[in-house]
């Protein structure tokens, strides 16, 4: 069993680090031989460990290669890799030279990446393989500022694809590491551009300084302490500000280990092998695990009852520990301990068995999912943030955890709401502005430093409750105002529905575009005596009515006016590749509304409605 120190005496704060390269230098000096990173090596079929000194030696070599590119302090360089040691080496080498790093999503479309490269004026780009660069360079003449491309993997037939700008990392890294001294930088100097996901238009480059990032990570440490003994399992993309702060900068400050997951598909195996103590994820993963468990236990009345009992008793114990409910009596304590061994332990073991803190952020988490995991004993904390805020704004902590809220604001972070309910944030970590977008900056950031988040919120007793998006409120023709996100989250707790978008702006009732789980659709259709391979089955009245009844059950807790009365069904998923999802897997609502414009019109032409 892992023992955690009561206080991390080796935590490197912003005052010591001053800049991101200063943080890395201080960490290497403070604990050179401690475990820093782990990464799976396919060549050996095993996990490889890297100490902080190992990382320094690697960064020295990457920096030497980067110096030969004759870049100037403040130039932009971009990295298009999955989470890895190489990502860290590129970033640290660039930061030590005073360069501005632009992190790209590996799942993004070539068109979007080309736009970002041009918008940021990127001079140097690192990609994983030749195929990635070929996909980007179809319009290579449009990449006017890009002078060099580094490619991580060298293929045997690489000589068949000559390109004056292309270099392979294995060819340019020197064999011997030469120690260096980081460039002198102001703590308020621009460190990175993090591009927004572009749900409502072209992505914008959020300008974050060294001070923005370091102050935010230090504030997170104050509400969710990180210890030297911790092991993080990193799988959310480092291009995302939340991941970069919480699973890259914060662990470096704390001097603990980060293990890079092999892939999303192998995450289940990595959890068991790595056994992390800290696990950070977006809500969708927790929801998928919840749905999978519910689907599995639905076939057994006994299993279902045991899970319900375990969650109910575990939830009561949680409330008691939070001093918001009575303590369990001896009989309840006996049965809880029994159920923890029979039920809870199996679920927690599949998550590694030693998670001391699990965090969810980036989107709302369904209350039923939160209650389920907390009841089973997973110490799950909800938080909130946005890229423009640096990114973390608030969070619950283990001694003060109010599920359903996103906790209290971090130390040093001021929050308030406008008359219309929009959440405003002011803190040392709020962005400097949008890259080359003065008008867009003025629209969200006022002269007193208040950032308009675009999120609607209520603040009760210091706890923040996100209620919706200011630009994603549906106003029906009856005047009812409905935030669709909560409804969509609830609908997708049913495994039959893979993706959903609730519509109804200016309409007399709500409708939904639903993408069905292909495998479950097959059984669903056959149970109704229909052919799942016949697309007309999706329009059959029996299917539509069965889906509407299913939705009525799911949305039973919502007001009468927040019920779905018409649906359009499809089995064709929304993806990044077809332009319907952002790189962070958010739906592009305006694009979807355009794509399904005719279908939406049809939903309001005499469609069968539930009474």
Tell me whether strands 481-482 and 497-503 are parallel, antiparallel or unpaired.
unpaired
List of E strands, 561-601? 564-570
First to last CA, the chain: 57
User: Other C-beta atoms within 10 Å of 441: how many?
Assistant: 18
Share of the chain above pLDDT 70, in %: 95
Tell me whether strands 510-516 and 497-503 are parallel, antiparallel or unpaired.
antiparallel
How sure is the predictor about 198, in pLDDT bands with cuts at 50, 70 and 90? low
75: left (phi over 0), alpha (psi -120 to 50) or beta: beta
In the chain, the domains with their CATH numbers are 14-280 (3.40.50.12780), 474-603 (3.30.300.30)
pLDDT score, position 486: 77
DSSP 493-538: TSTTEEEEEEE-TTSSSEEEEEEEPHHHHHHHHHHTT--TT-GGGG
The yes-or-no verdict on residue 607 having pLDDT over 50 is no
The yes-or-no verdict on residue 474 having pLDDT over 90 is no
How sure is the predictor about 4, in pLDDT bands with cuts at 50, 70 and 90? low
pLDDT, one tens digit per residue, over 540-568 is: 999 999 999 999 988 887 777 788 999 99
Sign of CA dihedral 522, 528, 529, 531: negative
pLDDT score, position 395: 96
pTM: 0.84
pLDDT, one tens digit per residue, over 63-110 is: 999 999 999 999 999 999 999 999 999 999 999 999 999 999 998 888
Share of the chain above pLDDT 90, in %: 69
pLDDT score, position 91: 98
User: Other C-beta atoms within 10 Å of 121: how many?
Assistant: 15
Residue entry with tokens 């978008």: 501
The pLDDT mean for the chain works out to: 91
Q: Identify the DSSP state of 397.
A: B
pLDDT score, position 609: 37
How sure is the predictor about 578, in pLDDT bands with cuts at 50, 70 and 90? confident
pLDDT score, position 519: 86
């Amino acid at each position: 069993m892992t023992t955690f120190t009561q206080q991390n005496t080796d935590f490197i704060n912003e005052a010591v680090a001053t800049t991101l390269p200063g943080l890395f230098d201080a960490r290497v000096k403070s604990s050179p031989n401690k475990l820093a990173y782990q990464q799976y090596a396919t060549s050996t079929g095993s996990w490889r460990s890297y100490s902080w000194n190992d990382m320094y030696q690697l960064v020295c070599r990457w920096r030497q290669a980067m110096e030969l590119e004759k870049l100037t302090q403040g130039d932009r360089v971009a990295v298009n890799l999955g989470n890895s040691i190489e990502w860290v080496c590129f970033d640290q080498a660039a930061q030590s030279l005073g360069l501005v790093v632009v992190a790209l999503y590996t799942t993004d479309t070539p068109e979007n990446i080309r736009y970002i490269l041009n918008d940021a004026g990127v001079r140097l780009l690192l990609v994983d393989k030749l195929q990635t660069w070929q996909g980007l360079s179809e319009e290579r003449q449009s990449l006017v500022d890009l002078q060099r491309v580094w490619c991580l993997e060298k293929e045997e037939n690489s000589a068949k694809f000559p390109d004056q700008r292309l270099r392979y990392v294995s060819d340019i890294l020197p064999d011997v590491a030469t120690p260096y001294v980081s460039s002198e930088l102001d703590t308020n100097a621009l460190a990175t551009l993090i591009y927004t996901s572009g749900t409502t238009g072209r992505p914008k480059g959020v300008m974050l300084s060294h001070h923005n990032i370091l102050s935010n990570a230090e504030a997170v440490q104050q509400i969710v302490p990180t210890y030297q003994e911790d092991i993080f399992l990193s799988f959310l993309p480092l291009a995302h500000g939340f991941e970069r702060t919480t699973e890259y900068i914060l662990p470096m400050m704390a001097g603990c280990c980060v293990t890079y997951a092999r892939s999303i598909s192998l995450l289940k195996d990595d959890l068991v092998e790595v056994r992390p103590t800290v696990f950070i994820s977006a809500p969708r993963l927790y929801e998928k695990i919840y749905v999978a468990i519910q689907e599995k236990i639905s076939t057994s009345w006994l299993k279902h009852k045991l899970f319900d009992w375990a969650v109910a008793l575990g939830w009561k114990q949680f409330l008691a520990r939070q001093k918001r409910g009575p303590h369990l009596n001896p009989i309840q304590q006996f049965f809880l301990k029994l159920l923890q061994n029979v039920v809870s332990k199996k679920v927690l073991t599949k998550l590694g068995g030693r998670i001391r803190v699990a965090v969810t952020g980036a989107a709302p988490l369904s209350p039923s999912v939160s209650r389920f995991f907390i009841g089973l004993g997973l110490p799950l904390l909800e938080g909130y943030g946005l890229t423009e805020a640096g990114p973390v704004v608030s969070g619950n902590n283990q001694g003060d955890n109010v599920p359903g809220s996103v906790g209290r604001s971090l130390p040093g972070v001021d929050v308030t709401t406008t008359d219309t309910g929009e959440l405003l944030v002011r803190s040392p970590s709020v962005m400097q502005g949008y890259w080359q977008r003065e008008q867009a900056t003025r629209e969200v950031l006022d002269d007193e430093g208040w950032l308009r988040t675009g999120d609607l919120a209520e603040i009760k007793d210091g706890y923040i409750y996100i209620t919706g998006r200011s630009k994603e409120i549906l106003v029906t023709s009856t005047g009812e105002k409905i935030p669709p996100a909560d409804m969509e989250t609830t609908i997708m707790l049913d495994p039959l529905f893979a993706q959903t978008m609730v519509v109804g702006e200016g309409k007399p009732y709500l409708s939904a575009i639903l993408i069905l789980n292909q495998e479950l659709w097959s059984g669903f259709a056959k149970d109704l005596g229909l052919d799942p391979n016949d697309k007309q089955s999706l329009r059959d009245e029996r299917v539509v009515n069965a889906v509407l009844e299913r939705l009525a059950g799911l949305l039973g807790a919502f007001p009468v006016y927040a019920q779905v009365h018409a649906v359009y069904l499809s089995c064709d998923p929304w993806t990044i590749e077809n332009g319907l999802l952002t790189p962070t897997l958010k739906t592009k609502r305006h694009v979807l509304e355009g794509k399904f414009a005719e279908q939406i019109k049809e939903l309001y032409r005499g469609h069968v409605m539930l009474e």
